[in-house]
Chain A
């Protein structure tokens, strides 16, 4: 080539929206507004830093990232913090690699950071993965000139039951306080004192009670914040890390699972900018000890003639199950999959129902549900992927309306995105609900500003009246949703007749995109995999002959083998079982207490002739089951979930998976015993087949059109019940986690002041909510609910609304002091 490279360079135009600068002699184009430290990173030049974090607002506090900068040919008089300075055209930057001044400045700051830092790395949890340790090696002096007295504090200070603070290790970078103020929006930790006494702390009367507090441990660049559950349990270099996906909700967080010698020791948030960015919630981070719970079932069990479950071999258990089910096939088998299944398992349950049990009586919904919901899901949700609505689109939307969905409690990462959008782009987040919950306040328009939260983003409704309210939504909300708005609807919409229909209508009216955010990780996948009474895999209606034929061909079945009538839903299956209309049940992870009528559900399980349970832990179902087949937890299997976006989230085993079987494998073998082939021996096989099936032909499924109902009117001494579950509650998968449980939000019965007065309730004093089934007593807290409404947490602190009261959202309850 004859053209000199320099000339080529000069000819290269600066891309639109970019500037050209030089860093350590390397010319680089950077987008306008980029922070120098990011540009350096892209060049592979690592400037040491502590306070800088790409997802937090720049602080410039630690001063570790100082570099020399020249602007317009004139060197700036002082070294500049590269974490706060943005790139500019013609800028010449010299980092520690090319500037003795920058190197000296960094070394000086490092020495100052270390004068008060204890030399306790050998016993510090962070040792081995510590940015301070690493950067002290790369940037620090070899010795310290400090011979005077170090600052010491009593340690550790528990700032919550799960986060411990060693203040003398802290470098006061404020990542934790900035996280809690900016990202979580629950600033229960803050800087206290001043100057050399400055320290991180909590108020005397309130610990760091945040659903996101674990993130502060992860982003702490030193060992100041440590996890109570992990403290002193391992060295980072002894851990084996596996990428994973969180099983607790439909957010779909990437995570890292750290194990040592066959035990999961901790979980960290994975870095997935498209989904959870770098965050997760405390439940996802800390709730994993169910793996080693004493309730864990490790061997198959068969109930003997004496009525006692006895451990037995797989062969014997599968034979017993197959025999029982085969015998019951004539009388009818119902299949209840549960909402926590992987896509592959859900597919296996659906296929098992159709192929082995010869029925459409299969449903994944282990919670209150309705036929309206199925219609809605068929019309709006099934088969929809992130290309329609994903986190990015959600964040970019000018307005979002949450319906029957309390984002922080039910999908915490969705909440973080909404808060980010509200804080960064002024997104209007509206909530159709009952009171100004923490999430409502923290997604208000002026979130992050100095003023108190504007609470104009709550659209208040009496429980049960949501559909009617939605039909007559305030004009400014409709206007905001029109033109790129998003409606997020939660699974609780099924508890209000007409609500799903109203959401459909509103979407049609405003052009808003609808996102369905169920609470459990498996629901979205189970819908697409066909574990529902009306749909085959890929959203194909069971009533559609062509669709059936397509599936029959793919499954290698004779034409006309698939059942043609829509099946029964979960409640109907259990009701049929109770009166002998079904002879057997195959039940996956289902807790009858989560259903609309736990008593009826238990009756069905009790009365059914033959009950096979696939479970990880002993449960209300295993207690009644004739055959119990243990299944593998996520940590010991591979598989995938579809998160609420419809995004496939694959994971591999973090622990040795031999000896434990995923549901799809158990069902496959069971089916073989029943002379049917599922071809779901492995999750990969199941996923492959499901993938080949693809989506069914999009026949425009009709949106539901259930009319709104009149809400109930409370009589004297009564109130209408509002209820949903809190993120950290008495959930089965959060058992045995005292540290996590310690940060659960306390349970209150919430009423407004007028209702409290009418019912004779006093703030802070107990109130008893009762039905003819039972009573729940909780302390009273006042909130801005509609008149005559009482709110209870769904499953916290003895407030087990469904199982104790047999009532739900929108029902009438008696309330007394």
Chain B
């Protein structure tokens, strides 16, 4: 067939790249990693000019895997270089391993099963951006990941992949594995930097952006674990190979974390653009055959989808076009037994708990929304509450300091958008309450 020559064959439904070593025994050890071509990419990279690597990653079209999807190569190229001015400052790589977005569970298995791909990615990235210090900020609750990454770093030092004059290249790099202490907001890159500097993890004003004024006010790249772990494969396979998966604007493989009411929840690495229908098929369909009601394409901060979105391509453009976001490809699947107002309440409680408190809309808005939703779920909602919630969300979305506030509105606005009648039915089924303080004993109602 002639078409095959111009259009390469479509890749297989699953394309293990990041997950390709996960089945190997002691996949997390350097011995296994090296047997499976580990640290080969590093050797190629060190032979290249750093700018070639930045160009390679640009060409590959790799986009940040932490949720925002910013082009990684472009981010690296923002780091000022040169012997004078801002380029003369030390530069830093900070890996965002503070995985905490509800539904998201891809970085933790990555760090547990294959920490060396992350470490190798860090070394290549640091070489590219001319950084001699890298911090991997791991969520504190992910203790075993911290051990695995820490051990991987030790092993890499022992083999000469870290430290002074790496593999005779003249390049020096130290990596510190840093444990967080329990704050979702630290997944926001500037909050993470403040936290790494020993402060409250509250987001910073941008500009200046981390690329010019990040860690210790020096040029800094902040990248997600999955992003950095993708780098060695890109060096080995090249940008064309990477682009043979996924779409033009969202190339490459991606770990989809399927959870909830499916038969076989788990991590599925597929080319970007797979649909929920395909994922459900791989995961054995809905659990016990109970129909799908709603789902998140990429964590709780991405607006809900319903059964009508089964065929939305799950890449950056596809999810956005359908009114949501790709986020972290944390596909949480909920069946018909789950109450939407209840689920929305739970998520809102989460955002209230994790709001950093810096800005008014997020801090006060989530405080208020939780009370309305708890009241509603406990049978004391009013019809006006639905409109009030939408208006509060309107006053938070795009008004808060960082994206946490925006994320907090997603479950509510999308929940009401698709399931307004369920909210109204819930309200109608309950007696009206004159005095809401009667509900004071409800858990969480009094902050």
Contacts and interface: CB of A to CB of B under 8 A. Distances in A.
A146 interface: yes
Interface stretch (B31-39, B126-134, B362-370): B362-370
A149 B367 CA distance: 10
A195 B366 contact: yes
Contact of B399 (A63, A146, A191): A63
A196 B366 contact: yes
A105 interface: yes
B364 A148 contact: no
A64 B216 CA distance: 29
A30 to B, nearest CB: 18
B445 A112 contact: no
A66 interface: yes
Interface in B382-403: 384, 388, 391-392, 394-395, 398-401
Interface stretch (B75-83, B257-265, B348-356, B410-418): B348-356
Given A112-B360, A113-B364, A151-B447, A196 B352 contact: yes
Contacts of A84: 205
Contacts of B217: 449-450
Contacts of A762: none
A193 B191 CA distance: 15
Contact of A112 (B205, B361, B388): B361
A383 interface: no
Nearest to A60: B205
A765 interface: no
A197 B436 contact: no
A412 B282 CA distance: 71
B166 interface: no
Interface in A188-215: 191, 193-198
B284 interface: no
A148 B436 contact: yes
Contacts of A149: 371, 436-437, 440, 445-447
Given A105-B395, A149-B436, A194-B356, A60 B366 contact: no
Nearest to B197: A450
B205 A148 contact: no
A79 interface: yes
Interface in B419-447: 436-437, 440, 445-447
B361 A195 contact: no
Contacts of B354: 194-195
B343 interface: no
B364 A116 contact: yes
A702 to B, nearest CB: 48
A172 B363 contact: yes
A145 B368 CA distance: 10
Contacts of A556: none
A450 B401 contact: no
What bracket does the count of chain A residues touching chain B fall in? 35 or more
A53 to B, nearest CB: 15
A116 to B, nearest CB: 6
Nearest to A109: B360
Given A63-B360, A172-B363, A111 B395 contact: yes
Contacts of B358: 61, 172
A570 to B, nearest CB: 52
Contacts of B360: 61-64, 109, 112-113, 171-172
A109 B395 contact: yes
B446 A115 contact: no
A11 interface: no
A62 B356 CA distance: 13
A605 B363 CA distance: 66
B357 A195 contact: yes
A194 B440 CA distance: 22
A116 B367 contact: yes
Contacts of A105: 395, 399
Nearest to B217: A449
B356 to A, nearest CB: 6
A321 B51 CA distance: 90
B210 to A, nearest CB: 15
B359 interface: yes
B163 to A, nearest CB: 24
Contact of B395 (A77, A112, A193, A195): A112
B400 A450 contact: no
A278 to B, nearest CB: 22
B117 to A, nearest CB: 31
A165 B443 CA distance: 28
A108 B445 contact: no
Contacts of B356: 194-195, 198
Given A108-B361, A172-B363, A196-B352, A191 B205 contact: no
A198 B367 contact: no
Instruction: Identify which of A66, A148, A197 gathers the most chain B CB atoms within 10 Å of its CB.
Output: A148
A146 B363 contact: no
A63 B445 contact: no
A78 interface: yes
A59 interface: yes
A172 B357 contact: yes
Interface in A538-553: none
A112 B364 contact: yes
A478 B371 CA distance: 65
Given A63-B401, A109-B395, A194-B355, A146 B361 contact: no
B427 to A, nearest CB: 15
A173 to B, nearest CB: 9
A195 B362 CA distance: 8
Nearest to A151: B447
Given A109-B395, A115-B368, A195-B353, A145 B388 contact: yes
B200 interface: yes
Nearest to B404: A195
Nearest to B374: A148
Contacts of B361: 63, 108-109, 112
B264 to A, nearest CB: 36
B353 A108 contact: no
A305 interface: no
B375 interface: yes
A357 B298 CA distance: 92
Contacts of A151: 367, 447
A171 B357 CA distance: 10
Nearest to A50: B360
Interface in B7-57: none
A193 B352 CA distance: 13
Interface in A419-461: 449-450
B112 interface: no
B111 to A, nearest CB: 26
Contacts of B398: 77-79
Interface in B286-324: none
A566 interface: no
Interface string B170-197: 0000000000000100000000000001
A108 B372 CA distance: 17
B85 interface: no
A146 B368 contact: yes
B205 A195 contact: no
B367 A196 contact: yes
Contacts of A193: 357
Interface of B: 183, 197-198, 200, 205, 216-217, 352-361, 363-368, 371-372, 375, 384, 388, 391-392, 394-395, 398-401, 436-437, 440, 445-447
Closest 8 CB pairs of A and B: A108-B395, A198-B357, A78-B398, A148-B371, A112-B364, A195-B355, A196-B367, A195-B357
Interface of A: 58-64, 66, 77-79, 84, 104-105, 108-109, 111-113, 115-116, 145-149, 151, 171-172, 191, 193-198, 449-450
Given A108-B399, A148-B375, A450-B197, 17 more contacts: A62-B359, A105-B399, A108-B394, A111-B395, A112-B361, A112-B365, A116-B367, A148-B372, A149-B446, A172-B358, A172-B360, A194-B354, A195-B356, A196-B447, A198-B363, A450-B198, A450-B217
6 contacts: A60-B359, A78-B398, A145-B388, A151-B447, A195-B355, A449-B216
